[in-house]
Structure 1
């Protein structure tokens, strides 16, 4: 392997390690929410510093590779994608920490029956699974799997859009659940952003593997559909 190939291989391993840490953060925040475990939630908050350290190191490593090797073609696309994926992962880490903070600050336990009726638990599981599949797509350079994430993100969007109605019904049925219900609505909003970040990651995987910019393709398709309607 060339020195550049060695550097890119090491960078890819770093990104995967950060990915696994962020997945762990999301999982622990979920467990803390279900069990109302404030100690576990505090652990998530403490480990957020590790996520931030990972982001800074990966950014520096990308900059060093740019400066030393002037990569081109697929290597250049990989580095550009790595920088954006790094940012997306750090933001998901922030979201996990935000959910953990709700648990630490909340004085009321989240009832499992209410979490199920609002589809919060289902949404959480799907958000974690999407992030895991995004990592698999990244490791295997599997653009088919990456594209499947777009449709699965629609599931999270649908739950998020329906959440105010469902939360309103919960509050009307029992006004004493207002603090708990509002916390759950906030968690649902955060999980929807996990889906958005994972979708962004999928777009970056397709970009570096296939040299296709999905955002531009989506914008063109929407304009074309709008012109057809006119």
Structure 2
């Protein structure tokens, strides 16, 4: 039987493999969408089965780790965090799949000028930067790097909020392209959701490393005067 440390390292490496696979899927979905590359989009769709298989395998290994070693303290936090990280990575893979499926179904490339107005490439770039930061934070055990994604997520939120007014304006100019604009809005929402999932991963890494729970934390308002 594997000892705890060896088993934990196997889990750690499996987590890194999942990060790498999902990162490749996200990059390919971006290239497929921006270049209207249906062949690359099909590649993402086919690789989704591998993402799902790795997700199930890693989840089972986490359960096995708990059953075999009855971990406590940082070992327990590690395996609990990894299960949630694995879930969030699989969901990021789902969004890459969804974006790529649009390309397979769409006959006409999206207008480059509209993409520029929506800051589409900037949004993708910010999301990928967040994904790289969080992967590095996981690999190096660096909570400070994990916290960087919270600030970058604001970029995605801002572009997402602005997209509605931009798309509304463009639809008024040319109502015949409404289907294309609705598609763009859907893709932007998916990228914004990827940002949310990455911040979830950041919270889990900080929980594992520092035993600090950030989820559902609210900003503290001014204290009430005592009576």
Structure 2: runs of 5 or more not aligned: none
Q: Is the 8 A contact 2:4 2:69 kept in 1?
A: yes
Partner of residue 178, structure 2: 178
- 2 CA distance for matches of 1:14 and 1:126? 25
8 Å contact from structure 1 (residues 123, 159) kept in 2: yes
Deviations 1:184-206 (A, max 9, x none): 11000000000000000000000
2:203 matched residue in structure 1: 203
From the two aligned structures, give the one with the greater helix fraction. 1
**Inter-partner Cα distance in structure 1 for 2:174 and 2:121:** 20
- 1:1-230 to structure 2, matched below 5 A, reads 3-216=3-216, 218-219=217-218, 221=219, 224-225=220-221
Residues paired across the two proteins, number: 223
Moved more, 2-11 or 17-26: 2-11
Displacement of 1:44 after TM fit?
A: 0.4
Q: TM-score, normalised by structure 1?
A: 0.93
- How far apart, CA to CA, are the structure 1 residues paired with 2:68 and 2:11? 14
Q: Is the 8 A contact 1:120 1:184 kept in 2?
A: no
Contact 2:7 2:65 in 1 (8 A): yes
Deviation at 1:178, TM superposition (A): 1.6
| Structure 1: gaps (5+ residues) | none
5-14 or 189-198: bigger deviation: 5-14
* Contact 1:109-1:180 within 8 A present in 2 as well: no
State whether residues 31 and 37 of structure 1, in contact with CA within 8 Å, keep that contact through their aligned partners in structure 2. Answer: yes
Mapped partners of 1:193, 1:159: distance in 2: 12
